[in-house]
Amino acid sequence: MSMRPGRLRLLLLLMIAILLAACATAPEREPVVDEPAIEEPAEDPIDEDGAIRHTVDNEAVALLWEQAEEARANDEIRSAIGALERALRVAPEDPVLWSRLAELQLEQGEHGVAENFAARSNSLTDHGLLLYRNWLIIGAAREYRGDDEGAREARAQADRARGGD
């Protein structure tokens, strides 16, 4: 992996945000995305294949996702987590919600929680890109905890997931 993990993570997250917004929100809404962020990932091969197709058939999940994104943008992580937890009660098997929660927990410094959430997301998906992203989160969480061996293994899994897509 040639990119710095931190940057990669950001890129993937934004991608998922875009795709979710495009697929899930009510049709009259414009996807809410940071302008400069779109530009950057456009060069990445992961973006080119555009493979993540996450559809949410529930309006409530889309609305809560948007709430969570807004809160996250305002650095209100707790309230973003709250909105995603509510969304999970509506759509308990949504692997993208679990993955985003994992990301937020990682930001909160809850590494163990983040790892478990990412694993939960993995258990609910066989989508290569999402698996890839979750394994990166798991790797980062393990690294923070000083589990270098585990982190390496997670990154190897990430590579496999990405390759298998």
Partner 1 sequence: MGALWQHPRAVAKRTSSRNRRKRTPRRTGRGAWIRRLLLLATGFGLAYVLTAFAILDHRVRTEFGQTQWRLPAHVYTQPLELYSGRDLDPEVLEDHLVAVGYRATSAPDQVGEYSRDGDRFRIHARAFRAAHGGEPRRRIEVDFAGGAIAGVRAADGTATIARIEPERIGSVFPGRAEDRVLVRLEDVPERLVDALLAVEDQAFREHHGVRPSAIARAAIANLRAGRTVQGGSTITQQLAKNFFLSSEQTLARKFDEALMALSLEWHFDKDEILEAYLNEVYLGQDGPRSINGFGLGARYWFNRPLDELDLHEFALLVGMIRGPSYYDARARPERARRRRDVVLEAMVVAGAVDADAASVARAQPLDVAPRERVRLAGYPAYIDLVRRQLAAYYDEEDLRTEGLRVYTHLDPRAQAAAEAAVSGRLDALDGGQDLQGAAIIAEVNSGAVVAVVGDRAPRTAGFNRALDARRQVGSLAKSAVYLAALGQPQRYTLATLMDDAEFSVDLGGGDAWRPRNFDGEFPGEMALIDALAQSRNVATARLGMDIGLDAVGKALAALGVNPGRRLHPADLLGAFGRTPLEVAAMYQTLAAGGFDSPLSTIAEVHDAAGEPLARSPLRVRQALPTESVFLVNHALHEATRTGTARALTSLLPGRAVAGKTGTTNDLRDSWFAGFDGRHVGVAWVGRDDNLPAGLTGSAGALPVWADMMRDLPAVPLQASGSGGIEWARVAPERGRSLPDHCTDARRLPFLAGSVPPRDRDCREQMLRLP
Half-sphere exposure of 102 (CA within 13 A, CB side): 30
Site size toward partner 1 (CB under 8 A) is 30
Does 113 engage in binding with partner 1 (CB under 8 A)? yes
Question: For residues 7 and 145, which CB has a smaller minimum distance to partner 1 in the complex?
Answer: 145
- Interface region with partner 1, contact rule CB under 8 A, candidates 7-15, 36-44, 115-123, 151-159: 115-123
Does 160 engage in binding with partner 1 (CB under 8 A)? no
Type of residue numbered 85: E
- Please identify which residue in 88, 143, 144, 153 interacts with partner 1, judged by CB under 8 A: 88
Q: Which of the 8 DSSP states describes residue 92?
A: T
Question: Which is nearest to 132 in space by CA: 93, 84, 164?
Answer: 164
Question: For residues 11 and 61, which CB has a smaller minimum distance to partner 1 in the complex?
Answer: 61
Please state, in angstroms and rounded to a whole number, the distance separating the CA atoms of residues 135 and 114: 11
Please state, in angstroms and rounded to a whole number, the distance separating the CA atoms of residues 135 and 52: 16
Query: Of 30-69, which residues contact partner 1 (CB under 8 A)?
Result: 57-60, 63-64
Neighbours of 49 (CB within 10 A): 11
Chain residues binding partner 1 by CB under 8 A are 26, 57-60, 63-64, 79, 81-83, 85-86, 88-90, 92-93, 101, 113, 116-117, 119-120, 122-126, 131
